Amino acid sequence: MISKAERLKKAPVRHIEVAAEIAHRVPSGQALTERFPILHENEVPEYNMAEWTLTISGAVEKETVFSYEQLMAMPQTTQVSDIHCVTRWSKLDTKWEGVKFKDLLPLLGVKPETKYVMIHADQDYETNLPLEDLLREDVLLAHSYDGEQLTPKHGWPLRLVVPHLYFWKSAKWIRGFEFMTEDRPGFWERNGFHNYADPFEEQRFSGEDLGLPEDEWHKKEWD
């Protein structure tokens, strides 16, 4: 069966016009939308919040488990960010609320040799990031969007928001952070997508970028 990356590479790409005053905020090949497309693999999970946990593992002094209540009791931050999906949509000025990753880090006992993190999420999803990227000011463990609790389809009860990378790195339904001394690829990174995913460098695929259709996301659900 042809992979998602290969299918998207082979689809035709049309030129996309962006207004000059916001062109510096929109990566090449992206189309602006006021909608919020819903893209994910598999079914939306359901939760018993009395049993929900976030697990910290790997290169740490000891494994730590947080409840949702513990995370909600931590300092909360509201952040406005532009986001960019590999399927060629961008949405500007999105408003998120949650816990900054950099505020959580001092509680985790991370070993000094740690350089990478694997984000584990439900539905057997994982994605990898350099630790230094997670320490940016705008990276959140988000529970709310635009002043309202996240909907299940957008990642409730907790999703990662990493605005400076393509949005597959902003995993929905996160359940754990595994700290690593060496990098290893996550789900989409093992299946043809770029390991780092900088939208302004058009780092969509792990091999030759043969193009990704700007209207792919129109075929998906959105709100």
Residues 6+ apart with CB under 8 A from 29: 13, 16, 88, 202, 212, 214
pLDDT, one tens digit per residue, over 161-194 is 999 999 999 999 999 999 999 999 999 999 999 9
What is the DSSP track for 1-70?
A: ---HHHHHHHS--------GGGGGGS-TT-EE-SS-EE--SSPPP---TTT-EEEEEESBSS-EEEEHHH
pLDDT, one tens digit per residue, over 138-160 is 999 999 999 999 999 999 999 99
CB 187 within 8 A of CB 127: yes
pLDDT, one tens digit per residue, over 37-91 is 887 767 899 999 999 999 999 999 999 999 999 999 999 999 999 999 999 999 9
pLDDT band at 218 (very low <50, low <70, confident <90, very high): very low
Torsions phi, psi for 105 (to 5 deg): -55, -45
Maximum alpha-carbon separation in the chain: 51
What is this structure's pTM? Answer: 0.87
* pLDDT at position 42: 74
* pLDDT at position 210: 42
Domains, the chain: 4-222 (3.90.420.10)
Instruction: Extract the tokens encoding 13.
Output: 């790409």
